[in-house]
Amino acid sequence: MLKKRIIPVLLLKNGRMVKGVQFDNYRDTGDAVSASRIYNAQYADELMFIDIEASGAGRGALLHVIEEVSEECFMPLTVGGGVRSCDDIQQFLRAGADKVLITTAATESYEVIRQGAEMFGAQCIVAGVDIRTVDDQYRVFSHCGKTMTELELIAHVEALQDAGAGELLITSIDRDGGMEGYDLGLFKLIQSVSRVPVIVNGGAGHFMHLVDAIKAGAHAVACASVFHFGDNNPIRARSYLKNHAIAVKNVK
């Protein structure tokens, strides 16, 4: 049977790994390639790299990280940050990425999702949606949480899938870095209209949060803080999930 996935997320700013709270107050958390090597040794299911600055310099650094990581780490790599065109997608795939995450560009037009899926296959395209609660409503944000869009959440999720996205990454900005658990209300709302695998992101602080999200139906759980801060790692995460009767990857 298909196993549930635990995906460490590495945020990059100027080539360095960072972590923040609610998409702000980022602090340096080390070297991305070193961290990737450790995750690889711990048999992480996948790795996700996101360039939060998406500037010219940041892109170069991220490409370099992917090139190095893909030479030694033989698991799926997803890369995102400032992807706006098929040329961007091609650039990341050539560097060694298997999947490309598209978030902000898709809030402006679904064309990059559509063209990307057509040219490279839906399995290459992960559509990201960043959500913050404003006046008790879930609102779609772009530009790393800086800009509130006018998009209606469910309509946007439907459109992303119609355009050909192979997976959805749903991130709660409110819960990000808070280590108090995923926003399962948000997840269930998305789940009601999802036709592709959904990865939940934002808020994991304890392995029980991963259990809760998976039992609510998430196909995969993305996490950063839970691994960065403390001595938790993917091996312990898998063990914890297994003890809660969740099927996880068998490596040995």
Binding of another protein by 213 (CB under 8 A): no
x/- contact string, 33-72, with another protein (CB under 8 A)?
A: -------x--x-x------------------------xxx
Residue 65 CB, nearest approach to another protein (Å):
15
Residue 5 CB, nearest approach to another protein (Å):
5
At CA 134, angle to CA 25 and CA 6, rounded to 5? 60
Q: Read off the tokens for 27.
A: 């602090």
> How many residues lie near another protein (CB under 8 A)?
35
Give, as ranges, the residues between 67 and 126 that touch another protein (CB under 8 A).
70-72, 74-76, 93-94, 96, 98, 120-124
Helical H segments across the chain, by residue range: 32-41, 56-72, 86-95, 104-108, 111-120, 153-163, 184-191, 207-215, 225-228, 234-243
Binding of another protein by 220 (CB under 8 A): yes
Residue 15 CB, nearest approach to another protein (Å):
21
The one-letter code for the residue type at 37 is R
27, 44 contact by CB (below 8 A): no
117 versus 184: smaller Cβ distance to another protein: 117
The one-letter code for the residue type at 212 is D
144 versus 168: smaller Cβ distance to another protein: 168
Binding of another protein by 217 (CB under 8 A): no
Residue 21 CB, nearest approach to another protein (Å):
29
10 versus 144: smaller Cβ distance to another protein: 10
Residue with tokens 């944000």: 141
Binding of another protein by 250 (CB under 8 A): yes
Helical H segments across 164-200, by residue range: 184-191
Secondary structure class of 198 (helix, strand, coil): strand
Cα separation, 46 vs 74, in Å, equals: 9
Residue with tokens 């108090």: 180
Residue 84 CB, nearest approach to another protein (Å):
22
Give, as ranges, the residues between 175 and 204 that touch another protein (CB under 8 A).
194-197
The answer for residues whose C-beta is within 8 angstroms of residue 218's C-beta and 6 or more apart is 4, 182, 187, 198, 199, 200
Among 51, 53, 88, 167, binds another protein (CB under 8 A): 167
Which residues of the shown chain bind another protein in the complex (CB under 8 A)?
1-5, 40, 43, 45, 70-72, 74-76, 93-94, 96, 98, 120-124, 166-167, 194-197, 219-220, 249-252
